[in-house]
Amino acid sequence: MSAPAAVARRRAVRQFVPPQHGAWAMLLLPYLAGVLAAGFRWPDLPLLGAWLSGYLLSYFALQAVKTRRPQRFREPLFWYAPITAALSLAVVVARPRVLLFAPVFAVLLAVNAWYAARRRDRALVNDLALVVQSCLMVFVVAVVAGQPPGRVLTPFLVVLLYFAGTVLYVKTMIRERGSRAYRRASMAFHLFALVVAAALGPVPAVVFALLLARAWLAPGRGLTPKQVGLAEIVASALVLIAAVV
């Protein structure tokens, strides 16, 4: 493939797939933790499709709000909106109780829209709102499986602690590199997460001890964003084990 053709292909892909590699872990880890803890039911398939397409729809919608150029994102919005609606309808028809989560997601999306409109989508509060949205999927999967929320409380807490800590950790590695305040906040939160994890069981305790060591040792080592991302793939696999064992 020629260089111009390769560039054109990458641009075409980016028109429909955002360059947010870390987002896929935030989408898939809570879903998998919920399925493994609560059990698989057939509505989990359209739920996964609605979850992924809904993320893509929200990403481009928020970009339209941020840039104030909705026409620029008209095509991905045109495709993802009906796909998300159709898959979501299939889940709602099969499990109407999932609508109980709609107000919470609406509030969190409103927070995202507020920060996007002010072009502050990298703010800590906005990141944490995204984390809560992601982790709520554990409870959604439990509802689909007909399980009580208490059945998946441990997986929910494990993924919530992991992603909240990762928000702080990644900031110390990239956007807030060199910030003593963020590094102290990251260390303090990881210590808190370790205490909670130790109360949940030995496996979560070991995993969060490793995450604490990561938060302590990695900043200042000159790691590239790609290296940080690859390490998080391993961390996500360990957290999934901690969430369901």
User: Which string of DSSP letters, residue by residue, matches 83-126?
Assistant: HHHHHHHHHHHH-GGGGGGHHHHHHHHHHHHHHHHTT-TTSHHH
> For position 21, what pLDDT does the model report?
72
* Lowest-pLDDT choice from 16-25, 133-142, 163-172, 210-219: 16-25
> For position 3, what pLDDT does the model report?
56
Kindly state whether residue 51 falls inside one of the protein's structural domains.
yes
Kindly state whether residue 3 falls inside one of the protein's structural domains.
no
> For position 10, what pLDDT does the model report?
63
Average pLDDT (28-54) is: 97
Kindly state whether residue 98 falls inside one of the protein's structural domains.
yes
> For position 49, what pLDDT does the model report?
97
Kindly state whether residue 8 falls inside one of the protein's structural domains.
no
Domain containing 62: what range?
20-244
Kindly state the greatest CA–CA separation across the chain: 56
Report pLDDT digits (tens) over 12-27.
667 778 877 778 889 9
Kindly state whether residue 1 falls inside one of the protein's structural domains.
no
Report pLDDT digits (tens) over 224-234.
888 888 889 99
* Lowest-pLDDT choice from 12-21, 27-36, 94-103, 144-153: 12-21
Average pLDDT (220-227) is: 86
Residue in the structure block whose two tokens are 């999927």: 137
- Percent of the chain scoring above 90 in pLDDT: 80
- Percent of the chain scoring above 70 in pLDDT: 94
Q: How many independent structural domains does the chain possess? A: 1
Kindly state whether residue 13 falls inside one of the protein's structural domains.
no
Q: How far apart are the first and last CA of the chain?
A: 46
Angle at CA 138, nearest 5°, toward 134 and 140? 95
Kindly state whether residue 4 falls inside one of the protein's structural domains.
no
Kindly state whether residue 154 falls inside one of the protein's structural domains.
yes
* Residue 4, pLDDT above cutoff 90: no
